[in-house]
Structures are given as C-alpha cells and as structure tokens.
Structure 1
Amino acid sequence: MDATLFTREVDGYLLIVQIYVDDIIFGSTNDTLCKDFERVMKLKFEMSSLGEMKFFLGLQVDQMPEEIFIHQTKYVNDVLENFSMTGTSPMSTPLALNHGIHPDPTGEKLMRLCTSQ
C-alpha cells in the first residue's frame, strides 16, 4: 500500500490524490470534485495550482478528451542532442507483439489529472 496515494468516492465518482515530496497530483471522474479539492487545499495550505498536468517526474502528459498519452519525447530529444545524435535515423522499438496493452473501448470516461505545488 502506498502511503501517499489517497482515494475518495462521492456519489459514485472517484477522486484520486497522489502526494510526492512537495507536489500533489489529483484527478477525478467528476470535475466538481477536482475543483472542490483544489479550493479546500488552497484554503488550508499555501499552494499554487499549475492546472492540467503537462509534466511530472520527467514524463510528459498529453490529455485529450478520450485518452491520456504519457511519453518522454522531450527527454529523448535532450539525450539525442546531448550526444550529438539529432540527425540519426530512428529504429523500431523491440516491444513484444503480445505485450498485453490494449485500449478499453467500454471503459468509463478518463479522469482529468491536475497538479499543484
């Protein structure tokens, strides 16, 4: 059990809060729960809201209406530039064909992830 991960269910909606050092990531299946949590946290603690999460721990997060895409494009480009390899050709990734990652077309709408400091 992760002692920095908290969940709360309200009227069938889920609020998830993850604390990492001085960062808080939170998301909900209901926008009102997210806004209420943010408001309460700002009242109780000195914190600023960074809005919708774009970066976290070196990961880039692109949130679209029906999906969340997590990638490290900036990190990869920085590494390539650091080793003077920006002009090289990409190679395919040796990911197994049966990696077990599949879209969930019947799943519920994804939650929106936000971050604060």
Structure 2
Amino acid sequence: MFIKKVDSDVILVQIYVDDIIFGSSNAKLCEDFVKAMQEEFEMSMMGELSFFLGLQVKQSKEGIFVCQSKYCNDILKKFEMEACKAATTPMSTNCYLDGDEAGPEVDQTKYRGLIGSLLYLTASIPDIMFVVCLCAQFQSCPKESHLKATKRILKYLKGTTSMGLWLQTRQEKYKWNMPPTWI
C-alpha cells in the first residue's frame, strides 16, 4: 500500500503481484498516476473495481460496500457446511475453549486450512475476529471441541453471507474518484 499526500488530497495505491488498484480524493491525482504508469509499463484498463483478492466491491455516490459473500459461500461448500442451519452468533455463550488434552484429535491440515480461510474473512466480517483468533490458538493440536467451535463460526457465516463493510461518504470533499483497476 502506497499513500501520497498532495496538500489536502491523497492518492492510495494497492499493489498485489500484478494487480494494482488505486483511488484518490482528487481526480487529477488519478490522471497523473495513470499517465506515469502508462509511460513506464504496459498495462490494460479493466474497468471500475468490483472484485479484488476475494473482496467484492460495490461503489455508489453514497459510499463503497465491501463484502466477501462469494468467498464465504465457497468456504461453506469447501468444508461441507452449505446445507447447515444458520447460527445467530459466531460463538455460543456457554462455550469454553482450552487445550482439551483428553479430547479426540482432528485432522490438523484441514483445521489449519479452515482457520486460514476464516482469518481471511475477517477483512470484511470483523465480528468473527475474536472467536477465529481464539480457535487459531489450537492449530498445533486441534481437538474435536475446537473443530466444533469453528463449525459454529461457519454456521454463523451461513446466515451473514451478505454482510460486509459500508464505507459512507461524509462530505463532497471526501468523495473518492475510483478509476478503473489495472492488470
């Protein structure tokens, strides 16, 4: 992530491998950035940002909505939970997780994959952060009780796949010019 401030304006540039997204509070900064990049590199315009690294982005005059509903549904399918009943909270109020030394062990690779997938979802669903990090503590020797807790998170996700972050524009001064992305 690169940030450049020019007076009271700012341009943000996010680079990931061969993908670049950028936005600015000033259209001129975007135009200058595009010109500089085209002089240096061969690039193609892909249009307005709508999908980036598993994040779905919907832009309007009122703000930007970021969610991961497709990624969330993919996780539910991958871990065979797409038909589960939705839970209203990511963790039961009477749940206590510890090392569970006597509990039956579960596949460590599958558990770690699930934790990694859930951690990535915290980018747009921050209310699962605490419980995902709690479950992540047991990756070295996961037990059935830990897997049960992660499945509860998946059940919560089942009912919240359309949730995300709404970044509302407050004033005309702060409206962002979101030009096309690059590949």
When the two structures are superposed, what TM-score results if normalisation uses the length of structure 1? 0.69
Q: Select the structure that is richer in helix.
A: 2
SS at match of 1:62: strand
Aligned with residue 52 of structure 2, among 52, 56, 59: 56
Whether 1:44 and 2:40 are equivalent positions in the alignment is yes
Aligned residues with identical type, % of pairs? 44
Is 1:28 paired with 2:24?
A: yes
Letter in 1 for 2:33: F
- C-alpha deviation, 1:38, in angstroms: 1.3
The letter of the residue matching 1:19 is: I
C-alpha offsets along residues 4-58 of structure 1, whole Å, 9 cap, x if unaligned?
A: x222223421111122111111110012221221122112201112222111111
- Structure possessing the higher radius of gyration over alpha carbons: 2
2:176 to 85, 90, 111: 111
Gaps of 5+ in 2: 91-126, 129-164
Between Structure 1 and Structure 2, the one with more strand by share is 1
Amino acid at match of 2:49: M
Matched, 1:73 2:69: yes
Contact 1:66 1:109 in 2 (8 A): no
CA RMSD of aligned residues (A): 3.0
CA distance in 1, matches of 2:72, 2:167: 25
